Amino acid sequence: MSAVSPSNTIPPVPLTMEGYAVLHQMLRIRRAAWRALPPDQRTTVANEASSALAAMEGSSSGQSALFSMLGHKGDLMLVHFRESFDALNQAELTLAGLRFWDYVEPVSSYLSVIELGLYESTVKVYKTLADRGIEPHSEEWKKEIFDTLARQREAMRSRLFPEIPASRYVCFYPMNRLRGEEKNFYMLPIDERARQMNDHGLIGRRYAGEVKQIISGSVGFDDWEWGVDLFAEDPMVFKKLIYEMRFDEVSAVYALFGQFFVGIRCAAADLEKLLHGELPQARNAQ
């Protein structure tokens, strides 16, 4: 095999691992139509929807969660984790078949897949293979990468296929890395991108125990590159974490953010209370 120069020929694309497919559905209640229903019909419709959502909450192959949204961007947010896009679509079809769906309308949605970026280990693996003289993208290279990802995927299974955290509050937002005329994150050398992402991750780790973060990739699936879900018992941690990250280089220079959606967790069994204008008290929704 011919020698390969690591600095010049290692691929620029970091390795990733993918887990659950994810769908966020933001809904607005058609309140005039809902209030026009007789009380007994409202109860029947709400109970039917609660039963369907409860089954989704407790699924062992990917869960769903219901949130009451704050602000004008919608009334309800449903978050679905599933093993495939087909299963996500089935969740959509199941909900659309409920009578309750006649009394809501979609205002937004977001499709993605849970993603673990492997910048640091990617650089190590690429350079090791290059130092061994293995040609990038050759069959031997692909086999080595496949075996590496298989080992890491098993070790990271709980992060790739997590339960939806039972925390009281959620903050969801999409984001991009800048690709402008003067600043373009993707044109940086992979070593530099790895350094910036490592520094970025150190901030999040300081909030371990206060917030649970789930990153999902959406390149090719939706209008932004990633979706970020933050789960916490205290919503102020969202402000503190995101604000601190604003001062981090990769965010200050290269980050673009979409809309933010904030919600309060509600168990499926409490849907009727929510529709009657009563925010249920905090409880374990799992």
Q: Angle CA(269)–CA(273)–CA(278) in degrees, nearest 5?
A: 135
Place of tokens 């974490």: 241
**Is the dihedral angle over the CA atoms 71, 76, 81, 86 positive or is it negative?**
negative
d(CA 178, CA 140): 34
Chain-centroid distance, C-alpha 141: 30
Q: Which residues does 76 contact at the CB level (< 8 Å), separation at least 6?
A: 26, 27, 28, 29, 66, 67, 68, 69, 104, 274
Residue from 110, 119, 126, 173 carrying the catalytic annotation = 173
Per the annotation, the verdict on 103 as an active-site residue is no
At 85, list the tokens. Answer: 């896009």
Catalytic residues: 173
